[in-house]
Structure 1
Amino acid sequence: MNKTTTLLALTGGLALTALVLGLPQLTAPLLHGATPLPAQPSPPPPALPSPPPSTSQGSLAMTSRLSHPYIIPGRSDLFVTVDLQGQEVPGAKRSPVNLALIIDRSGSMSGYKLEQAKQAARQLVKMLKDEDRLAIVHYGSDVKSLPGMRATPANRERMVQYIEGIWDEGGTNISAGLLAGQAQVEAARSDYRVNRLILISDGQPTEGSTDAGSLQQLAKDIRAQGMTVSSIGVGTDFNEDLMQAFAEYGAGAYGFLEDAGQLATIFQKDLQQATTQVARNVELSFELPEGVTLGEVLGYRSSSAGNTVRVALPDFSAGQAERVVARVVVTGARVGQAVDVTGLKLAYTDLLKDKTVGTTARLSAMVTDRREEVLARQDKDATVFATRARSAQNLQKAAEALKLGRKDEAKQLIQQNQQMFHEAASVAGAPAVAADMAEQDAAMAEYESAGNAYEVNTAVKRSKTQALKSFGRMGSTY
């Protein structure tokens, strides 16, 4: 590596570190032409009132915090973190479910993978209760279905016999499988509160609709009709970006399984999540006051209208936790005054109360000219959460670089992550990021050792799955 390349790499790493740890707050006034800080700092500003630990007016609790509750005059980059958690419902009877299990039986699933999928399907049937409803759909080039029926003892026997007769053949017509599953669930949707499609695939779509845009729109359409889509990728040859999009647009969960033998465990998790739902149609909004702009919502798709930024979230089950991290740009004005950073609004259908619920919160930062005050008041948890989300962006980029054969570039991105967590440790303490450092070390070792297509594909899918969790999709990523 020549001196120029080394300097650029170091500069990039320092820029990432500065963004996460809030160094722009210390240097921004000079960089943006504002009045330099006075030589003699003024007395410490009054403390901001402590925000409540969480806000809840329904089945979801919302906790919000700023990475930097104190900022200096001029432009500052802050991170807003919002934690959401579904209410626990001890001893509650689970809701009946209306399911469609959609199994890829294309030629690539032949042998072990299809046998394990069939075994997992049999176990799923055993988990159902008489009031549950299940349709079994399997697709190759064409689609075949066992129509949805109540899971009575006699019907469960029929389902098991039908599963035995599934054999591999044909291409991978995912769109036809989803449409068939949608039709089966739709037939009884009005009779159930929980309506869900579970899609399994080990490959790329080769027949029917094959472009990502059309398939993503299909997931959106299914969601718009009151059904959710969970997607499970098996092996290393499937399109992980597409399968993740199915779950995101379908408001369900995504799972990556290297071994089809893990399918039964995932089915059990997804069934539990589906049957203990407490909220659906969940949307988080950022209301940005004048002088504040949104840099990005990390790891989520968002839409903007005026000063409002909306983020669609998955359906929530009891105890499910998800996190949203956003970067905002704030202009601090007068020392000693508080600056509004963002208003937050959480809206959803509360399934426990059977009504629409809205929860609000507001975050503000105090303006100070004391640099030490900015650092001393830095929120340790928010700093770690922001670092994880930023590292997830790098991890996604590293996975793509590895997929394209640019291993050195991928490793440099992981090295940047290691540096970011090292700096976060100086704020929050080494134990707070010990697991994160271990994950980055494991990714580096895996990237270095990946020597064939199978190992590269495995590393790519592991990294992208880990990135989803680091963004904050903890409950909706298996």
Structure 2
Amino acid sequence: MLAVLPFLTFCELGASTPSETSSQIQLDVGVSNPTMLAGKKNQINHLRISLTGFDLPKSDRRPPVNTAIVIDQSGSMGGEKIAQARNAAIAAVERLRDDDIVSIVLYSDSATVLVPATKASDRESIIRKIQTIQAQGSTALFAGVSKGAAEVRKFIDGDYVNRVILLSDGKANVGPKSPRELERLGASLVKEGISVSTLGLGLGYNEDLMGRLASAGSGNHMFVEAADDLVAVFQKEFNDLLSVVASEFEIHAKLAEGIRAVRVLNSEADISGQDIYVPLTQLYARQQRYFIVEVEVPGGENGAEMPMAEVSIKYKNLISDTTDKLTSSIGIRFSDDAKVVEENRDLETYAQCAIQFANDANIRATLLRDQGKIEEAKQLLITNCYQLNKLSAESRGCIAEPLALELERNAKLNGMQSELLDLPMEWTRSRKQMIFEQNRNASQQDYRVDSPSQVSPPAVQSSPKSP
């Protein structure tokens, strides 16, 4: 039995008291070791904050979108690449509803607006303009993203899903061009409620720049090796864009006195004393998005209990058009029996921690390979594979199936990557694939689970928002 302090989850709605069928985000707070060893000071533990999106209504109702499609039209995009980029953009526009807003921005030596932000009702005119796109010039990537964001800002609205979608096949060579500069741009747009997704085409683009922009921009990063795959990848991105159920998140964890925050694994966060603030722009239907906070815990006597953290989540529910609030708290206890500590592990939280630790090691392996330290990099990936496989076997039947599959997928992935590190001809492709997978794991990009309505909910209390 897990020995944790009891907790309640509360929900405060913005406009009215919800019915039993109201759609709500599910908040789940866990700790990898609910029982810790007594008499030992400054032990490390891990707090998990998990949010799960609900299903979209069965009706056609969904939040409207406000998106800028930013297309690289530099000379390297000539031929099949630009042709497939046109096809992908047209297919995306055809999926939009009349009340959605779309703009098309092109960039080469500079950035230009082909289609200013407008309602998607005039599809034929928008498509005709897309069909005129040709490839020429250099790659002013920063200017392209900035211009796309400016178009989104024209109609930015909390009731819309606001996103910039960037396609590029090359390295930024005009204007700001470092990964850090693009990362700062992505982070600043998140504060405005605009997310950024990046699609890297072929083997010539800068995956560090594109990956860090998407990560800081709370969007997706995709590696598209062949131009023929562009339409399918654009469709996948729009599947996500059209399934957003909540936005404008304010995630706050307050640690109990004596507990020290060390870091938040693979995620941006603001840590100030006992307070931790984690940014999140949007959540998809049935997506589980979790954050792992590494903490240092002071010692405790055998049998003693200690509060660990209080977590509060505030967000915009795009289906009910309310501002919802969830709160939860969790604690730990101490035992001098190491076997009890081991038996009381929260395997769900432990497995998610393992995936993020392996992801962190995978990032280090990439850097080691860049430095020519192939054997060190390979050993990290082999260790990842072994540890994930071991945990997968130990937790079989004890954790949710999607999480079990993620453990297996990551174990297999690290094993395959370890075999490719010493193949020079494969490194350019392998590196892009590794960066893509690192971003995918850090943001749980494709992690979908049963919606909260399909699982037993926590205790919930609801009340109308104060005027």
Normalising to structure 1: TM-score of the pair? 0.82
Determine if contact 1:403/1:460 at 8 Å carries over to the other structure: no
Determine if contact 2:215/2:439 at 8 Å carries over to the other structure: no
1:133 aligns with 2:71: no
Q: Mean Cα displacement is larger for which, 139-148 or 383-392? A: 139-148
- Sort the Cα spacing of 1:57 and 1:87 in 2 relative to 1 into closer, same or farther, 3 A: farther
Q: 1:167 Cα shift?
A: 1.4
For 1:66, the aligned partner's letter is V
Pairs aligned (count): 427
C-alpha distance in structure 1 between counterparts of 2:181 and 2:418, whole Å: 35
Determine if contact 1:134/1:151 at 8 Å carries over to the other structure: yes
Determine if contact 2:5/2:330 at 8 Å carries over to the other structure: no
1:110 aligns with 2:78: yes
Q: 1:227 Cα shift?
A: 2.7
Q: 1:222 Cα shift?
A: 3.3
SS at structure 1 position matched to 2:82: helix
- Sort the Cα spacing of 1:347 and 1:232 in 2 relative to 1 into closer, same or farther, 3 A: same
Ranges in structure 1 where 5+ consecutive residues have no aligned partner? 1-44
The residue correspondences of 1:71-90 to structure 2 (distance < 5 A) are 71-73=36-38, 74-75=40-41, 76-90=43-57
Q: 1:191 Cα shift?
A: 9.8
C-alpha distance in structure 2 between counterparts of 1:233 and 1:64, whole Å: 35
Determine if contact 2:74/2:139 at 8 Å carries over to the other structure: yes
SS at structure 1 position matched to 2:221: strand
Give the aligned partner of residue 226 of structure 2.
Answer: 259
Normalising to structure 2: TM-score of the pair? 0.84
The residue correspondences of 1:29-428 to structure 2 (distance < 5 A) are 47-48=3-4, 59-73=24-38, 74-75=40-41, 76-92=43-59, 93-144=61-112, 145-152=114-121, 155-190=122-157, 193-425=160-392, 427-428=394-395
Determine if contact 2:182/2:212 at 8 Å carries over to the other structure: no
SS at structure 2 position matched to 1:79: strand
- Sort the Cα spacing of 1:422 and 1:246 in 2 relative to 1 into closer, same or farther, 3 A: closer
Give the aligned partner of residue 9 of structure 1.
Answer: none
Q: 1:118 Cα shift?
A: 1.2
Alignment RMSD, CA only? 2.7
Q: 1:171 Cα shift?
A: 1.0
C-alpha distance in structure 1 between counterparts of 2:127 and 2:76, whole Å: 23
SS at structure 2 position matched to 1:189: coil
- Sort the Cα spacing of 1:57 and 1:203 in 2 relative to 1 into closer, same or farther, 3 A: farther
Q: 1:426 Cα shift?
A: 6.3
1:38-61 Cα shifts (integer Å, max 9, x gaps): xxxxxxx99546667x77667321
SS at structure 1 position matched to 2:134: coil
C-alpha distance in structure 2 between counterparts of 1:412 and 1:81, whole Å: 28
For 1:225, the aligned partner's letter is E
Determine if contact 1:78/1:329 at 8 Å carries over to the other structure: yes
The structure with the larger Rg is 1
For 1:182, the aligned partner's letter is A
Give the aligned partner of residue 40 of structure 1.
Answer: none
- Sort the Cα spacing of 1:328 and 1:423 in 2 relative to 1 into closer, same or farther, 3 A: farther
SS at structure 1 position matched to 2:424: coil
- Sort the Cα spacing of 1:109 and 1:351 in 2 relative to 1 into closer, same or farther, 3 A: same
Decide which structure has greater helix share.
1
* Percent of residue pairs identical: 26
C-alpha distance in structure 1 between counterparts of 2:170 and 2:120, whole Å: 30
SS at structure 2 position matched to 1:362: strand
1:451 aligns with 2:420: no
